[in-house]
Amino acid sequence: MDSAGEGERTHHLRVLSHEMNFCVPAKRITSAQDLDTFQKTVAFRALVEFLHTLNDTVRGRSKSSVNPPSENVKSVLEMLNRLSGWVDMYPPVDQSSRFGNKAFRSWFAELSDNAAKMMEDLLPNELQEASSELATYWRDSFGNEVRIDYGSGHETNFAAWLCCLYRLGFFSASDRDALVLLVFDSYLQLMRKLQLTYMLEPAGSHGVWGLDDYHFLPFLFGSAQLIDHPDI
């Protein structure tokens, strides 16, 4: 992509001023009209541009070509690895129902209890005010503890969490490939582990009309990686 196109694509991804107000996110999209309103906001455009930019970054790229991860990327990978370790702490319980193992609620309680502290430990001093807002996106990235399910909406929360960190300047442009090839890959592995261990129900599955019961972004990023592949 030429420099002009890059500038246009990342217009809404410029690092924000640190003089901002933060709030705990709440569900606001409950109707088609709400969704239409959201699609006209700067937040929506920033998230879409963020995903397009990451997609452009991994075009024709394999995981072996990723740049060495920055310290901030390493910190996020360590957080995801910590969550994976908690799965071993809360093994599935015996129950009559095959799907929706109730041990997931214990794992999720561990996540909820630690989410705010994890954000505080992750962020530098000048970004501490963002902790409570980011903790909500982080917690909602891994499924719903009441329904014991997971779907692309939870995956979107993780993408929004990464986008927020990017706009805050926590990640830089040089981290973009690692956000897909390392961070998102690690997140996907964790989610597969949660899905298989606790037999999470698909949230909002469209059956044969959907690419996958749980995920969407692996198909977006994966198709970009296969562009110009010599064997296709």
- For residue 131 the two structure tokens come to 């902790």
Written as tens digits, the pLDDT of the chain (232 aa) is: 334 445 445 555 666 655 678 889 898 999 999 999 999 998 999 999 999 999 999 999 999 999 999 999 999 999 999 999 999 999 999 999 888 999 999 999 999 999 999 999 999 999 999 999 999 999 999 999 999 999 999 999 999 999 999 999 999 999 999 999 999 999 999 999 999 999 999 987 666 666 777 889 999 999 999 998 888 6
What letters, b where the CB count within 10 A reaches 16 and e where it falls short, cover 180-196?
Answer: bbbbbbbbbebbeebbe
Q: For residues 212 and 191, give the distance between their C-alpha atoms in angstroms, rounded to a whole number.
A: 13
Concatenated DSSP letters for 109-158?
Answer: HHHHHHHHHHHHHHS-GGGGGGHHHHHHHHHTTS-BTTTTEE-HHHHHHH
* Range 5-9, long-range pairs (CB < 8 A, 24+ positions): 9/49, 9/52, 9/53, 9/56
Q: 61: helix, coil or strand?
A: coil
pLDDT in tens, 27-56: 899 999 999 999 999 899 999 999 999 999
Distance CA 187, CA 215 (A): 11
Q: Which of 204, 202, 212, 209 is nearest to 99 (CA)?
A: 202
Half-sphere exposure of 84 (CA within 13 A, CB side): 14
Helices (H), the chain: 3-9, 32-38, 42-57, 71-89, 103-122, 131-139, 152-167, 176-178, 185-198, 217-225
d(CA 208, CA 216): 14
* Contact status, residue 29 vs residue 35, Cβ threshold 8 Å: yes
